[in-house]
Amino acid sequence: MAPRSVTSPAAARRRLLELPGGRVHLVEQGEGPLVLLLHGFPESWYSWRHQLPALAAAGYRAVAVDARGYGRSSRPASADAYRAVALVGETVRLVRELGERRAVLVGHDWGATLAGQAGLLRPEVFPAVALLGVPYTPPGGPRPSRVFAAMPGEDEFYVPYLQRPGVAEAEIERDVRGWLAGFYTSLSGGRAPAEGPGPYFVPRGGEMRARFTGGPLPSWLAEEELDVYAGEFERTGFFGALARYRNMDRDWEDLAAWEGEPLRQPTLFVAGAEDASLRWLAEAVDAFEQTLPALTGRHLLDGCGHWVQQERPEEVNELLRGWLADVTAGWGTGRP
Q: Please state whether 129 falls in left (phi above 0), alpha (psi between -120 and 50) or beta.
A: beta
- Give the whole-angstrom CA distance, residue 306 versus residue 186: 9
Query: Is 226 a domain residue?
Result: yes
Query: Is 2 a domain residue?
Result: no
Query: Is 3 a domain residue?
Result: no
Query: Is 1 a domain residue?
Result: no
- The reported pTM is 0.94
Query: Is 214 a domain residue?
Result: yes
- Give the whole-angstrom CA distance, residue 157 versus residue 88: 27
Answer yes or no: are the C-beta atoms of 271 and 301 closer than 8 Å: yes
The string of pLDDT tens digits covering residues 108-117 is 999 999 999 9
Q: Where are the beta strands (DSSP E) in 9-115?
A: 13-19, 22-29, 34-38, 61-65, 104-108
Domain of 301, CATH number, reads 3.40.50.1820
> Looking at the annotation, which residues are catalytic?
109, 306
- Pick the closest to residue 50 from 3, 15, 94, 16 (CA basis): 3
Query: Is 222 a domain residue?
Result: yes
DSSP secondary structure code for residue 215 in this structure:
S
Query: Is 37 a domain residue?
Result: yes
The string of pLDDT tens digits covering residues 108-158 is 999 999 999 999 999 999 999 999 999 999 999 999 999 998 887 889 999
- Look at residue 150 in the predicted model and tell me its pLDDT: 87
**pLDDT-based confidence at 16, cuts 50/70/90?**
very high
The string of pLDDT tens digits covering residues 161-211 is 999 999 999 999 999 999 999 999 999 999 876 566 778 899 988 999 999
Boundaries of domain holding 150: 13-327
Query: Is 8 a domain residue?
Result: no
- Number of independent structural domains in the chain: 1
* Cis peptide bond N-terminal to 42, omega within 30: yes
The string of pLDDT tens digits covering residues 240-268 is 999 999 999 999 999 999 999 999 999 99
SS3 content of the chain, % helix, strand, coil (to 5): 40, 15, 45
